[in-house]
Every structure is written in structure tokens, then in C-alpha cells.
Amino acid sequence: MSAGGVSVSLVDPQLADAAAALVEKLVGDGVASALARQDATLWGPDAQSEASRRLSWVSLHESSRPLVDRLTALRGDLHAEGVDRVVLAGMGGSSLAPEVICHTRSGSAVGGEHPITVLDTTDPGQVSDALAGDLSRTVLVVSSKSGGTVETDSQRRTFAQVFAANGIDAASRMVVVTDPGTKLEELAGNLGYRATIEADPDVGGRYSALTAFGLVPSALAGVDVGALLGEAAAAAPALAADSADNPAVLLGAALAAAHNAGAEKVVLADSGSGLIGFGDWAEQLIAESTGKQGLGLLPVVVENPDAPGFVDHGSDATVVTIGPAVGNAQIAAEGTLGGQFLLWETAVALAGRLIGINPFDQPDVESAKQATRDLLAEADSGSAPSKDEAPVLVDGSVEVRGGPWLGSPGTLAEAIQTLVNAAPDHGYVAVQAYLDRLDDASAIVLRAEVAARTGLQTTFGWGPRFLHSTGQYHKGGHQNGVFLQITGSVADDLAIPDQPFTFGQLQHAQAAGDAQVLTDHGRPVLRVHLADRAAGLVALANAVTEVTR
Ligand SMILES: O=P(O)(O)OC[C@H]1O[C@](O)(CO)[C@@H](O)[C@@H]1O
């Protein structure tokens, strides 16, 4: 049944039975309507203070309305000047939603009617490629809630310099989205940037799809964001109802019931929803919201409902289609894009209450950022150069590093096998590629191959993008992951204006810093460095075909 353009079906009768008691509890306690009233007490006293500053997302379909005309006018002005190429600098909640929105409305992940270049990377080659586009037509949207995210700041500095070097008034091409009162807002004012659009400070990054963070880049790329808000508005009454038919109540209860029964992985596959890349957006929402206190839901985004991890999932995973139920789907979530944003936000907030965590903080994200800063500072001071330890193995163009758990592997395949052997039953493998997600896109094949050969749920993330998404879960959630980290050589590094480090050094420090933090959490991290990216990716793809479990 579709309520306001969204629906959730609990296809698996056993899961529906397990969820029934939680549905009844949510309905009986009036939780959905309390959430719609922004009741900050729903997650207990410890979460109340944070929740009281994080619940405005429930009514963004109304409060974001005034942005629509303003953004239409800004787009018109830019177009009148021939500026129609949108590049977005932003991480996690500041870029995942606009990417889905633009791709979905274009009907394509590349180009299409509403093209957008999302730069959520520190890969020097990928940043250079974005700089090589037609700058005379480019506007850079600089999106950061905190105003202090290093990746975003580095991209802003670099674009400003390159605009100027090309005789373009950089300030006229900068549109900033940030919270009121940030350093970024102050800087944009001082430098006379084209526009600064304040976002609602009472909405966290991963719930911000329908704030200025989602709407500004999308509207500048030509998306009808008023229609998107309309979709959310249509779904809102059904999602606020204290009813066993409320799709968010069903979804939240089912995810929590599955979690509490040991199925903490949520495998997401698109089954023809027409939404492009929705799983990547939902991934951050689910992982960062729930993965803490050794609990939470691990999102595993897979290629399609026939993919390894979905067709052959074990009792540790719940399989969900975005779109109609097909194959062995246990849950199907269908609906409009605006409606699905609100559906999943509501469901995850409800699941958080049932699991017993605060869905609005991200206590473990800072540790990797700090480790990165420490490594960069060490390198800058020259006191303790941030060099990697010697590899335990060099196999062709691939250097392999790990901890004592790794022993002395003879080949890359053996090293990966040792990593996989270190995963507990019902553990998972996380493949984390600090590479160029366009030029090194073939790395993605590793996910399905590892999953098929090991039977372990396997995630894939581009670094540093995933640090702002599943990064929280890997450190704060169920501690049963093993990590295959991939880095690559940098042919042409790129300086970051007025910073003592380059993009290549930043990327390297992010990988090394995160590996350090995961290791400190007792997790096995296999670090694979591709001295030659193309040859190394082929070697890796071959090596994983030898892995078994
Ligand atoms: O918008 P900001 O402040 O640049 O942060 C980007 C992302 O980084 C995180 O804080 C995690 O590192 C996310 O929660 C957020 O979406």
C-alpha cells in the first residue's frame, strides 16, 4: 500500500512477525507523532540535549520552501553569465544527497539533464580532472555544515587559485552553504563570495537532504527542488501517523527487530526504483546514525538483487530492495525520492530508539580526523616523518602491510586470505579504496568477488568519502569487521594553496590515520599500496579470485 507516495512491505513473514511487537510498541507509545512534533525526549535523557538541536528535518518540506525562488533566481543569474557547470565540494551529508538528486532527476549517473561534479575526494588525479573542466562555465558550491572540513576547504582553496590563474574572478564563482556563524561564512563574507546560503543549524549532516545542503547544488544544476519538497510533503502525514500502516514505523521496527535478533547488516539493492545511487545516501544515514556503543546497523550497498551478499545472505543480514520486492527480498521500500528521504530518516530515528542508541551523534568520527591531523603535523615538523613501515611483502607492483596477525604471506592472495581468515563468523569485510573513483572505478569489482568467495558480507567505500559515512560504524558499531585498505601511487601531486601538505599527502595521511585508529580498536587492517594503479588493480582482482572460506 502506498501512503503519500511511499510504501514499505515486510515480505518475509518471519521478519514481519518479529517486527510486530515493536510496531505495536511504537504505535502504542505514539512515537511517530511525537517525532513529528520534534519531541527530543524520545531517545532517553542522555540524548536529549543533542536531539533538541537535531530534529528540524521532520518539517523541512515546509521550512525549506522559501529557498526555491531564491535558488531559481541565483541559477538564472549564473546562466545569464554563461555559468552552467556545477562542481560541488562537500563531504558526507554535504554532498551525498545532491548527487542522488541530480542523478535521479537526470535518469543517469553521468551527465544527463542535471549534471553535477561531486568532489568528495582528496585524490590528486580526481581533483585535477575537475579543475581541467571548462572553468569559464564553472560555479563551485562549497558545502560544509561545520565550515571546517579539511577536504572541502582544500578544494575551495585550490579552485580559488585556479580560477584566478585563468583570469576568472574567483569570488564571483563561489557559492557557500554552511551553518550560521561558521568560519566559512565569515570568510565568504570577507572575500565577497557570490552567495552564502545558511543551512538550518538544527539538522545534522546526514538528515540534511532537504536543507540548503541538498537543495542548493541541485537547484543550480537545474533540478526542480520545489517538486522534491512536494514529494516529501505528500509523504509526511503518513510518516507521522501512529499507525501500524505507517511505512516508517514498519521499516524502523523491522530493522530494529532484525538487529536485535543478530541480523545487524542491512543489504541494500536497487530493484528498479528509478532512484540512482540512493543506497549511497542511505548508507551514511544508517551507519553514522546507528553504529555506536558496539551496536548498530551496517549498511551493505550491493550492485543489484542478484549480487553476492543479497541472493546468498546469511542470518546476520536483512536484505532490502529500494524499489519493488524481487528475488529473496525481505523488505521492500518504494516511493518518490523526496518521500524516501523522509521515510528513511524517520525509520532510522525510530530504529535508533528501539536499538537504544542516540541517532544524532557520531562519537567515533573525530578519531580518524585527529589521527590524520597528527600525521600531517608530524610530517610538517620534520621531527618524525610520517613514513609507512616497510612492507611485509612486495608482490609485483603491490606493497602489502599489516599487523602481527598477518605473519609472513608469500603472495598478495595469501595476505588477503589471512585477512579473511581473521574475520569471525558473521563478521564482515570492508574494502576501502583511497583512489580516484572515476579513473580507478574498476576497484569496485572487488566487493562482489570477495563476498562471493567468502560468504562474508562485504562493503566497498571510496576513501576519504566513506570516512564521513560508514567510518563511524567501523569504529563504533559491532566490532566484527576486517579491513582491506587500498592506496595508490600519485603520478602528479597537487599542491593545496597555503597549506603545508599536498592532496597526495593528505590522502595518504587519511588512509594511514584511519588504519591506525582501526588497529587501535583491535581490527585487522591489510594495507595494500598499488605502486602502479592499473597493474595493481588487475593484480588485486586476480588475487581475490584465489580467496576462499
Ligand atoms: O558538512 P561538514 O561539516 O563539512 O561535514 C561533512 C560530514 O562530516 C561528518 O561530520 C563526519 O565526518 C558528517 O557527519 C558530515 O556529513
**Domain holding 68: CATH number?**
3.40.50.10490
- The alpha-carbon radius of gyration of the chain (Å, integer) is 22
**179 Cβ below 6 A of ligand 1:** no
Beta bridge partner(s), residue 527: 401, 485
Q: Taking a C-beta distance cutoff of 8 angstroms, is the pair 242, 27 a contact?
A: yes
Q: What average pLDDT score do residues 333-341 get? A: 98
| Same-domain check for residues 308 and 446 | no
| Same-domain check for residues 261 and 391 | no
Q: What average pLDDT score do residues 403-407 get? A: 97
Q: DSSP per residue over 207-269, as a string?
A: G-TTSHHHHHHHHHTT--HHHHHHHHHHHHHHHT--STT-HHHHHHHHHHHHHHTT--EEEEE
**409 Cβ below 6 A of ligand 1:** no
The pLDDT score that the predictor gives to residue 303 is 98
Distance of alpha carbon 303 from alpha carbon 88, whole angstroms: 25
In 411-466, beta strands by DSSP E: 428-434, 457-462
| Same-domain check for residues 93 and 241 | no
Q: How confident is the model at residue 385 (pLDDT cuts 50, 70, 90)?
A: very low
Report if residue 54 sits inside a domain: no
The pLDDT score that the predictor gives to residue 382 is 56
**31-35, 106-110, 459-463: least confident range:** 106-110
CA of 204 to the centre of ligand 1 (A): 9
Distance of alpha carbon 523 from alpha carbon 311, whole angstroms: 28
**14 Cβ below 6 A of ligand 1:** no
| Same-domain check for residues 127 and 11 | no
Last residue of one domain, picked from the residues 355, 384, 410: 355
∠191-195-197 over CA atoms, to 5°?
120
Q: Taking a C-beta distance cutoff of 8 angstroms, is the pair 275, 100 a contact?
A: yes
The pLDDT score that the predictor gives to residue 397 is 94
Report if residue 251 sits inside a domain: yes
Report if residue 53 sits inside a domain: no
The pLDDT score that the predictor gives to residue 379 is 77
Distance of alpha carbon 485 from alpha carbon 528, whole angstroms: 6
- Closest by CA to 339, choosing from 274, 283, 264, is 274
CA of 182 to the centre of ligand 1 (A): 14
Q: Specify the length of the chain in residues.
A: 549
Contacts of 181 (CB under 8 A, 6+ apart): none
**149 Cβ below 6 A of ligand 1:** yes
Beta strand pairing status for 174-178 and 195-198?
parallel
Report if residue 264 sits inside a domain: yes
**16-25, 54-63, 385-394, 472-481: least confident range:** 385-394
Q: Taking a C-beta distance cutoff of 8 angstroms, is the pair 29, 357 a contact?
A: no
Beta strand pairing status for 398-401 and 525-530?
antiparallel
| Same-domain check for residues 323 and 255 | yes
Query: Into how many domains does the chain fold?
Result: 3
pLDDT over 90 at 514, yes or no: yes
pLDDT over 60 at 347, yes or no: yes
CA of 186 to the centre of ligand 1 (A): 19
Distance of alpha carbon 498 from alpha carbon 514, whole angstroms: 25
Task: Determine which helix (DSSP H) or strand (DSSP E) holds 126, and give its type and residue range.
Answer: helix 124-131
Q: How confident is the model at residue 314 (pLDDT cuts 50, 70, 90)?
A: very high
Alpha carbon nearest to ligand 1 atom 11, residue: 468
| Same-domain check for residues 466 and 529 | yes
Q: How confident is the model at residue 194 (pLDDT cuts 50, 70, 90)?
A: very high
Q: What average pLDDT score do residues 129-146 get? A: 98
Report if residue 360 sits inside a domain: no
| Same-domain check for residues 403 and 259 | no
The pLDDT score that the predictor gives to residue 380 is 75
Q: What average pLDDT score do residues 19-47 get? A: 98
The pLDDT score that the predictor gives to residue 387 is 63
Q: What percentage of the chain reaches a pLDDT higher than 90?
A: 95
Beta strand pairing status for 265-270 and 317-322?
parallel
Last residue of one domain, picked from the residues 205, 229, 253: 229
The pLDDT score that the predictor gives to residue 110 is 84
Cell of 286: 544508517
| Same-domain check for residues 501 and 387 | yes
**63-72, 244-253, 366-375, 392-401: least confident range:** 366-375
pLDDT over 80 at 1, yes or no: no
CA of 387 to the centre of ligand 1 (A): 28
**290 Cβ below 6 A of ligand 1:** no
Please give the number of the atom of ligand 1 that sits closest to the Cα of 362. Answer: 14
Q: What average pLDDT score do residues 14-38 get? A: 98
Report if residue 525 sits inside a domain: yes
Q: What percentage of the chain reaches a pLDDT higher than 70?
A: 99
- Closest by CA to 239, choosing from 533, 542, 484, 7, is 7
DSSP letter assigned to residue 455: -
Distance of alpha carbon 203 from alpha carbon 200, whole angstroms: 6
Please give the number of the atom of ligand 1 that sits closest to the Cα of 213. Answer: 1
Domain encompassing residue 256:
6-41+234-355
Distance of alpha carbon 346 from alpha carbon 365, whole angstroms: 22
pLDDT over 90 at 197, yes or no: yes
CA of 55 to the centre of ligand 1 (A): 17
pLDDT over 80 at 164, yes or no: yes
Q: What average pLDDT score do residues 93-120 get? A: 95
Report if residue 262 sits inside a domain: yes
Contacts of 412 (CB under 8 A, 6+ apart): 393, 395, 396, 398, 400, 528, 539, 540, 543
| Same-domain check for residues 217 and 267 | no
How many other C-beta atoms lie within 10 A of the C-beta of residue 277?
18
Looking up cell 544544476 gives: 221
**146 Cβ below 6 A of ligand 1:** yes
pLDDT over 90 at 313, yes or no: yes
Distance of alpha carbon 396 from alpha carbon 539, whole angstroms: 8
**153 Cβ below 6 A of ligand 1:** no
Contacts of 296 (CB under 8 A, 6+ apart): 259, 264, 287, 290, 355, 357, 473, 476, 477, 478
Last residue of one domain, picked from the residues 206, 229, 252: 229
Please give the number of the atom of ligand 1 that sits closest to the Cα of 96. Answer: 16
**105 Cβ below 6 A of ligand 1:** no
| Same-domain check for residues 244 and 217 | no
Please give the number of the atom of ligand 1 that sits closest to the Cα of 205. Answer: 16
| Same-domain check for residues 331 and 370 | no
Report if residue 48 sits inside a domain: no
∠422-423-427 over CA atoms, to 5°?
170
The pLDDT score that the predictor gives to residue 140 is 99
Looking up cell 526504483 gives: 273
Please give the number of the atom of ligand 1 that sits closest to the Cα of 152. Answer: 4
| Same-domain check for residues 77 and 214 | yes
Respond yes or no on whether the N-terminal peptide bond of residue 363 is cis (omega within 30° of 0). no
